[in-house]
Structure 1
Amino acid sequence: MNYQTYDQWNDEIWADAGFIYKQAFKEKGAKPEDIIRNMFQKGICYLHVGYMGDQIVAMTLTGKLTEMDALLIDYLSVHPDFQNQGLGKKLVNYIHKWSQGKDHFDAIIIEVEAEKTPENIKRIHFWQKCGFTLTDYIHHYIWVPEPYQAMYIQTNSKHAEFSGEELFKHISKFHKASFQKKREKP
C-alpha cells in the first residue's frame, strides 16, 4: 500500500476518501463535509489515504492538538471490500512514522467509545495492538449520548504519561475549533 497525506482540501481525493468515511461513520456522528472543509481552511487537520494502485482503500482524518503537540485520529476507516486484511494497522503505522517527520508531533491520541460492547472492546483491542494506551477517565460529552475514553501513543522518547482528563481538554478544544467557522478578514 502507498500513502499520501494532504493538508489542503481536494475535491477529487475527497470523492473517494469521503465514500469510505461515509460508509463507516454516516450513522456514528460523522462530521458534515462543510465542517471538514472548514477544518482544512483553518489548517487544523490532515487527510491520510492508503492506495492500492490508484484506488483509495483506507483513510484517516487527523487533527492538530497544538497546545500539546499531538495528533488526534478523528476518523479511520478501510473500504468495505478491503477490511480484515491488516490495512488499518498499516495506515496507523504510516501515521505514526509520518507524525515524527515534518511537524513532529509528540503523541497520537484517539478517543474510543467507553461502553463495554463487543464492538467497542474489539476497537480498543485494535488500538492496543497498534501500541496505544487506554486511559481510565470516562468522558461524557453534552452533545452525544455515549461516553468516551482517550488512548494515546507517544512518538518520541520522552515517555510521559497522560491523564484522560488532560487529553479530553485538548480533544474538546479541537472539536470546538472544528465547528467554529473561519473568520473572514475585513
Structure 2
Amino acid sequence: MDFKTIDHWDEGIWNQVSPIYQKAFGDKGAKPEKIIRNMFRKQICFLHVALQQDLPVGLALTGNLQGINALVIDYIAVDANHQGRGNGSEMIHYLKDWAMVEKGFDSIIIEVESEMSVENLDRIHFWKKNGFTLTDYIHRYIWVPETYQAMYIQLSPNEKFPKDGKQLFKHIGNFHKESFQGI
C-alpha cells in the first residue's frame, strides 16, 4: 500500500476519497465539505490517502492539537471492500511514522464512541491492538447524542502530555471549535 499526505485543499483528491468518507461517516457526524475546506484554509489539518494500484482504499483526516504537540485523528476509514485485511492497521502504522518523523508529534489521539455496543467495542479493540490506551473519562458534546472517550498513543516521551481524558477533550474540543469558526 502507498500513502499520500496533503496539507492543502485538493479538489481532485477529495473527489476520489469522498465516497469512502461519505459511506463511513455520512450519517454518523461527517463534517460537511465546507468545514473541511475551512480546516485546510486555516492549515489545521492533513488528509492522508491510502492507495493500492493508484486507487484510494482508505483515508484519514487529522489535525494538529495546539499546546500538546499531538496529532488528532478526526476521521479514518478503509473502503468496505478492503476491510479485514490489515489495511487499517497499516494506515495507523503509516500515521505513527509520519507524525513522528515528518512532523515531530509526541502523540496521537482519537476519540471513540463510549457506548458499549459490539461495534464500538470492536473499534476500541482495534485501537488497543494498535497500541492506543483508552482513558476513563466519558465526554458528552452538546451537539451530538453519543458520548465519547479519548484514546492515545505516545510516540516519544513527553512528561507534559496529559493522559487524563478530560484534559485531552479540552484540546480536542478546541480543535473542533477552530474547525467550524470562520465559515
Q: Secondary structure at the match of 2:67?
A: helix
How far 1:146 sits from its partner (Å)?
0.8
Corresponding residue number in structure 2 for 1:58: 58
User: Within 1, Cα distance between the matches of 2:56 and 2:85?
Assistant: 15
Unmatched 5+ stretches in structure 1: none
How far 1:36 sits from its partner (Å)?
0.2
Count how many residue pairs are aligned between Structure 1 and Structure 2. Answer: 182
Paired amino acid for 1:177? E
Q: Is the 8 A contact 2:24 2:77 kept in 1?
A: yes
Moved over 6 A (4+): none
TM-score between the two structures when normalised by the length of structure 2: 0.97
User: Within 2, Cα distance between the matches of 1:101 and 1:18?
Assistant: 27
Corresponding residue number in structure 2 for 1:89: 89
Corresponding residue number in structure 1 for 2:166: 165
Corresponding residue number in structure 2 for 1:103: 103
- Please list the CA deviations of residues 57-115 of structure 1 after superposition, one character each: whole Å capped at 9, or x if unmatched: 01000011021110000000011211111101100100000001232111100000000
TM-score between the two structures when normalised by the length of structure 1: 0.95
User: Within 2, Cα distance between the matches of 1:161 and 1:61?
Assistant: 22
Q: Is the 8 A contact 2:137 2:149 kept in 1?
A: yes
Corresponding residue number in structure 1 for 2:115: 115
Corresponding residue number in structure 1 for 2:32: 32
Unmatched 5+ stretches in structure 2: none
Corresponding residue number in structure 2 for 1:11: 11
